[in-house]
Amino acid sequence: MPDSPLAVLALGFVLGLRHALDVDHVAAVSTIVSARRSVWASSLVGAVWGLGHTTALLALGVVVVALQTGIPPAVAQALELAVAAMLVGLGARLLWTLRQGGRLHLHGHVHDGRFHVHPHVHGRGAHAAGTDHHAHPGRQPFVVGLVHGLAGTAGLMLAVVATIPSRPLALLYVAVFGCGSIGGMMAMSALLGLPFALAAGRLRRVDGVLAAWAAVASVAVGLALAWRLGVEAGLLA
Q: Looking at residue 108, what DSSP letter applies?
A: E
**Closest Cα partner for 121 from 193, 26, 37?**
37
What pLDDT is attached to residue 86?
92
Q: Tell me the residue type at 147.
A: V
Distance CA(43)–CA(58), nearest Å, equals 22
pLDDT tens, residue order, the chain (237 aa): 566 888 888 988 998 888 888 888 888 888 888 777 678 888 888 899 989 988 888 888 787 777 776 677 777 788 888 889 999 999 998 888 877 755 444 444 444 555 444 444 444 444 433 344 444 557 888 998 888 887 755 556 666 776 787 888 888 888 898 899 899 999 999 888 887 777 665 555 666 777 888 899 999 999 998 998 888 776 665
Distance CA(41)–CA(38), nearest Å, equals 5
Distance CA(116)–CA(188), nearest Å, equals 29
What pLDDT is attached to residue 174?
85
Give how far the C-alpha of residue 41 lies from the chain's centroid of Cα atoms, to the nearest Å.
14
Q: Looking at residue 215, what DSSP letter applies?
A: H
pTM for this entry: 0.73
Distance CA(196)–CA(213), nearest Å, equals 12
Residue 106 forms beta bridges with which residues? 119
What pLDDT is attached to residue 134?
45
